[in-house]
Amino acid sequence: MPGIPLRNGGPAARIAVIPGDGIGREVTPQAVKVIRAATALTKRPIEFVEFDWGADKYLREGISLPPGAVEMLRDEFDAILFGALGDPRVPSNQHAADILLGLRFKLDLYVNARPVELLHDRLTPLRDRTEKDIRLMVFRENTEGLYVGVGGFFKKGTADEIAVQEDVNSRKGVERIIRYAFEYARQNGLKRVCMSDKSNAMTFAHDLWQRVFKTVRQEYADIDSRHLYIDTLAMEIVRDPRQFDVIVTCNLFGDIISDLGAQLAGGLGLAPSANIHPGKTSLFEPVHGSAPNIAGKGIANPLGSVLASAMMLEYLGWKPEAGALRNAVRAALRQNYVTPDLGGDKRCWHFYLRFTNCVIIMPSRNPPMCAHQATPPEALVPSALIPARNCRRNQYPRMMTAGIGIRKTNTSVRTRARGYSSMYAPMTPEIAPLAPSAGTVELRLKRTWSKPAPSPQTR
């Protein structure tokens, strides 16, 4: 989705990386590598500083969000790339409340932008819907509502127990998110804004939403604004998602409707989000959680995190790099280069290999491999992973050992390897615009023989 606002549009950026728990620790490093590759091509200075905040640290040291962390992030970083928090060993989810909700509240990231965009027709479970039908933005209020943690227990653990969770809504808080949704629509040429609440049952908190909405919408006569109760919205978005451009709603309903939207566009593995306070340090994360059921298996889909990274690059004002990430995701989906959640057989790390078009040289005398061949990276020594753009004759003795000659031109690399034909390979289209002369290439090595020559003994 277009039109994420700018932090500063400056030439360099400093990013705090919080991988967190579970698959957050698998997908986030992949996204960081992809960002590094994209920004290296355009020579943008970008610095990543990783923080180990999460369940392990919380269980080990009792620390969730360290003292001073908020001020440090606010003053010393442009953005935060976040993975996910949640661990079965912390059933209270206290560390997630402290870190994730803590950052949303304390950095005052009042806009939670969650685009729902179908990137390939085959990914939606809705019959007869195509890419052009599913393209909308959910704006979730991100600092108030039922999330503020006001409440308590009375007579806890007894038969007479009472539990209270307060829904806190301020006029200023409601107004700024509704106004933001209208402004976003106007600035991006979108014609429809739908505000959703449950004012028929929540007659105080959501009465405020109703009144503020009625006031603000008067300033946006050019936009077709409507209201739907949240239960009806859940039904309508499935029945006909073409009705919606921009949806704005409260914290809890935004959480729920964005998971529903994510599934309409292919599932949680693909859904990105941005937690924004315009102009200030903001936080970017996939919509999904730590997925303990698949953590550690290498099958987590990294594309939600990559698309969240694209939102982050756009927020920094780095549109070409953001576009490169999005194009690469689209290309991977087009070619069904995907993880098992989308029906593929790729692993979490494969997307990065595809993105950078690394030339992989197997150690010792094994034949060279192309990144597209499903080679588990653990089987390779790190020095055998060579970005194609760095390929220079004589620079990598290992390559010569493996019997390869490489000649680099502006747009292609020529290879010669025993048992392999030499061939030119074009730059992949999703990266080419970033580096018109950088020589980043997709290298495909083809075997030139089909059968080994018979040995003298068998003759």
Give the catalytic positions in this structure.
147, 198, 231, 255, 259
CB of 143 to ligand NAD, least distance (A): 15
271 counts as binding ligand IPM under rule CB under 6 A: no
- Nearest CA to 61 out of 102, 16, 107, 98 is that of 98
Q: Does 255 bind ligand IPM (CB under 6 A)?
A: yes
Question: Within a 13 Å sphere around the CA of 411, how many CA atoms are in the beta-carbon half?
Answer: 8
Q: Is 255 in the site for Mn ion (CB under 5 A)?
A: yes
Q: Report 110-169 residues binding Mn ion (CB under 5 A).
A: none
Alpha helices, H only, 244-286: 251-264
Residue 272, interface with ligand NAD (CB under 6 A)? no
User: Between residues 201 and 256, which has the closer beta carbon with respect to ligand NAD?
Assistant: 256
Site string for ligand IPM, 65-104 (x = CB under 6 A): -------------------------------x---x----
The pattern of x and - marking residues 107 through 126 that bind ligand IPM according to CB under 6 A reads --------------------
Both tokens of residue 164?
A: 């209270």
Residues 6+ apart with CB under 8 A from 157: none
- Segment contacting Mn ion (CB under 5 A): 41-49, 249-257, 268-276, 365-373? 249-257
Q: Is 98 in the site for Mn ion (CB under 5 A)?
A: no
Long-range pairs of 161-170 with CB within 8 A, sequence gap ≥ 24: 167/202, 167/205, 168/144, 169/144, 169/145, 169/205, 169/206, 169/208, 169/209, 169/250, 170/144
Nearer to ligand IPM, 94 or 335 (CB): 94
Tell me the one-letter amino acid at 406: I
CA 410: distance to chain centroid? 31
Q: Does 135 bind ligand NAD (CB under 6 A)?
A: no
Q: For residue 260, what are the contacts with CB-CB under 8 A and spacing of at least 6? A: 234, 237, 238
Shortest Å, Cβ 168 to ligand IPM: 15
Q: How far is the CB of 21 from ligand NAD (least distance, A)?
A: 7
Stretch that binds ligand NAD, among 61-69, 167-175, 281-289, 416-424 (CB under 6 A): 281-289
Residues of this chain, 290-309, that bind ligand NAD according to CB under 6 A: 290-294, 300-301, 304
341 binds, among ligand IPM, ligand NAD, Mn ion, none (CB under 5 to 8 A by kind): ligand NAD
**319-334 vs 24-41: helix crossing angle, rounded to 10:** 120
Q: Helix, strand or coil for residue 102?
A: helix
Q: How many CB atoms lie within 10 A of CB 162?
A: 10
- CB nearer to ligand IPM: give 102 or 377: 102
| Residue of this chain nearest to ligand IPM (CB atom) | 255
Which pair of structure tokens corresponds to residue 405? 């000659």
Name which position in 141, 167, 245, 341 contacts ligand NAD (CB under 6 A): 341
3-state secondary structure 314-344: HHCCCHHHHHHHHHHHHHHHHCCCCCHHHCC
Q: Which stretch binds ligand NAD (CB under 6 A): 11-19, 79-87, 145-153, 417-425?
A: 79-87
Q: What does the alpha-carbon distance between residue 40 and residue 416 come to, in Å, rounded to a whole number? A: 27
d(CA 307, CA 182): 24
What count of Cα atoms within 13 Å lies in the side-chain half-sphere of residue 330? 15
The reply on whether position 54 binds ligand NAD by CB under 6 A is no
- Residue 308 lies near ligand IPM (rule: CB under 6 A): no
Nearest CA-CA partner of 346 in 265, 285, 269: 269
Using CB under 6 A, pick the residue from 117, 285, 314, 442 that binds ligand NAD: 285
Of these, 63, 70, 148, 268, which contacts ligand NAD (CB under 6 A)? Answer: 268
> DSSP for 200-225?
TT-TTHHHHHHHHHHHHHTT-TTSEE
CA dihedral 437, 443, 448, 451 (to 10 degrees): 170
Give me the sign of the Cα torsion angle 201, 204, 205, 208: positive
Give the footprint of Mn ion on residues 30-69 (CB under 5 A): none
Considering the complex, what minimum distance in angstroms separates the CB of residue 288 from ligand IPM? 8
- Nearest to ligand NAD of 167, 255 (CB atom): 255
Contact status: 197 vs ligand IPM (CB under 6 A): no
Closest CB to ligand NAD among residues 281, 301: 301
What minimum distance in Å lies between the beta carbon of 305 and ligand NAD?
A: 8
Q: Which residues bind ligand IPM (CB under 6 A)?
A: 96, 100, 255, 287, 289
Q: Which residues bind ligand NAD (CB under 6 A)?
A: 23, 27, 84-86, 93, 96, 100, 268-269, 285, 288-294, 300-301, 304, 341
